Amino acid sequence: MVMVKRKTVKKRALVTGAGGFIGHHLVKFLKKKGYWVRGVDIKFPEYEESAADEFEILDLRRSDDSLQATRNIDEVYALAADMGGMGYITGHDALIFHNNSLININTIEAARINGVKKYLFSSSGCVYPAHKQDTPNIKPLKEIDAYPANPADGGYSWEKLFTERLCLYYREAYGMDTKIVRFHNVFGPLGTWDGGREKAPAAVCRKVALAKMQGRNEIEIWGDGKQTRSFCYIDDCVEGIYRLMSSKFNDPLNLGQDRMISINELVEIVSKIAGVKLKIKHITGPLGVRGRNSDNSLLRKVLKWEPRISLEEGLTRTFNWIEDQIQNSQA
C-alpha cells in the first residue's frame, strides 16, 4: 500500500495596519497559529521587526494599492486606520473620516474583486451614542445600543458606523463572510507611548515613569480624572479577534474588558506598579465621553470566552516596557 502524505495548505491572511499596535501583535499571533501572513501599512512597525512572511508598504486610500494588498488572500483583517488617542481624534474629523472611509471602501472592494472569503473590520466602542455615556457611572453598552445613532467622538466614530454598514451590505450583496469587532481601549507593550497619538494607559504609564525617574511627585491629567473606561490587554484582543473570525457570527460584537475604572484610579494602579506616590494636577484637555464600558453578555454567548488578563497584570507588562523605552531613548 502506498501512503500519500497530504500537504497541508496554509491559510493566507492579510493584516492591514500591520505596522501599528494591534496589527503587529495580530501578525505574530496568526504566524503562531500556522498562517501565511502578509502585512500591509504605510509604515513599518516602530519597535520590533514584523513577523509577517511578506510586508508591503502600500497606501490603502488608493484602489490599486488595495488590489495589490488583497491578491491571493483567504482572510482579511482590516485594522488600518488613521487614528490615535483623544488628543489626536479630537479636531481632525474631516481628515480622519476622509482617510478611513477611503481605506475601508477600497480594501473591502478589492477583497471582493480578488475573491476573499472572510473579512474582519475593526470597529470601536466609540460608535455608541453620546447620551448613553454622559455620566461616569454609565450602564455597560450592549451592541444594540449603537442605534439610533449619535456617536460621541466625531468623524472617527461616524466612519466606524459607516464601514460597519458597508460590511453588512457586502455580506448581503456578495455573500462575503464579514465580521465586525468593536474594540474597547486596547493597551499593551509595543504600542505608541508618546508623540500625541498615544492613548490613556500608555500616556499614564509614560507620565508616571518620567515622574519616577526625575524624582517628581506630581503628574498632569486631562480633566477631573473622574471619566471612566474599561481597558483590554492586547493578548486578549488578538485571541478574541481570532475566535470571532473562526465563528459563524456576523453582527457587531464588543471585544473588551467589562471592569470600569476612572482615569484617577488608572493613575493609582500604575503608581502602585511603579512603587511611587503621586499627586494629580488636573488640567484642561480633550476628554471624550464621561463614561464607557463594554457589556460582554453577547461576547460570552457567541465566543464562549471573554478577556481574562487582569488590568494589573497587563499594566505591569506595559509599564515595564514603556519605562525601558524611555531609558533606552535617554541613553
Nearer to ligand NAD among residue 67 and residue 276 (C-beta):
67
**10 binds ligand NAD per the rule CB under 6 A:** no
Contact 151, 157 (CB under 8 A): yes
3-state SS class at 309: coil
Contact 180, 191 (CB under 8 A): no
**82 binds ligand NAD per the rule CB under 6 A:** yes
Q: Which of 35, 105, 107 is nearest to 68 (CA)?
A: 107
Contact 161, 147 (CB under 8 A): no
Min separation Cβ 20 and ligand NAD, Å? 2
Name the one residue in this structure whose C-alpha cell is 514584523: 50
With contacts defined by CB under 6 A, name the span among 40-48, 169-177, 206-214, 321-329 that binds ligand NAD.
Answer: 40-48
**136 binds ligand NAD per the rule CB under 6 A:** no
Asked if omega into 148 is within 30° of 0 (cis), the reply is yes
Choose, from 156, 170, 233, 242, the residue flagged as catalytic: 156
Min separation Cβ 273 and ligand NAD, Å? 20
Instruction: Choose which of 13, 14, 15, 19 interacts with ligand NAD (CB under 6 A).
Output: 19
Looking at beta carbons, which residue is closest to ligand NAD?
A: 20
Residue 156 designated active-site: yes
**117 binds ligand NAD per the rule CB under 6 A:** no
Min separation Cβ 275 and ligand NAD, Å? 27
Contact 193, 205 (CB under 8 A): yes
Min separation Cβ 175 and ligand NAD, Å? 24
Instruction: Choose which of 27, 51, 76, 80 interacts with ligand NAD (CB under 6 A).
Output: 80
3-state SS class at 282: strand
**C-alpha triplet 326, 330, 331: angle, nearest 5°:** 115
Strand pairing of 186-187 and 36-41? Answer: unpaired
Q: What is the largest CA-CA distance in the chain?
A: 78
Q: Which of 46, 235, 17 is nearest to 121 (CA)?
A: 17
**103 binds ligand NAD per the rule CB under 6 A:** yes
Strand pairing of 218-222 and 279-283? Answer: parallel
Nearer to ligand NAD among residue 23 and residue 189 (C-beta):
23
Instruction: Choose which of 42, 105, 210, 276 interacts with ligand NAD (CB under 6 A).
Output: 42
**319 binds ligand NAD per the rule CB under 6 A:** no
Strand pairing of 36-41 and 75-78? Answer: unpaired
Q: Which residues are CB-neighbours of 132 under 8 A, at least 6 positions away?
A: 138, 139, 141, 145
With contacts defined by CB under 6 A, name the span among 57-65, 161-169, 289-297, 321-329 that binds ligand NAD.
Answer: 57-65
Strand pairing of 260-262 and 228-230? Answer: antiparallel
**106 binds ligand NAD per the rule CB under 6 A:** no
The footprint of ligand NAD on residues 140-199 (CB under 6 A) is 183, 185-186, 192, 199
Instruction: Choose which of 14, 15, 21, 293 interacts with ligand NAD (CB under 6 A).
Output: 21
Question: What amino acid positions are annotated as catalytic residues?
Answer: 156
Binding site for ligand NAD (CB under 6 A): 16-17, 19-23, 41-43, 59-61, 79-83, 103, 122, 124, 183, 185-186, 192, 199
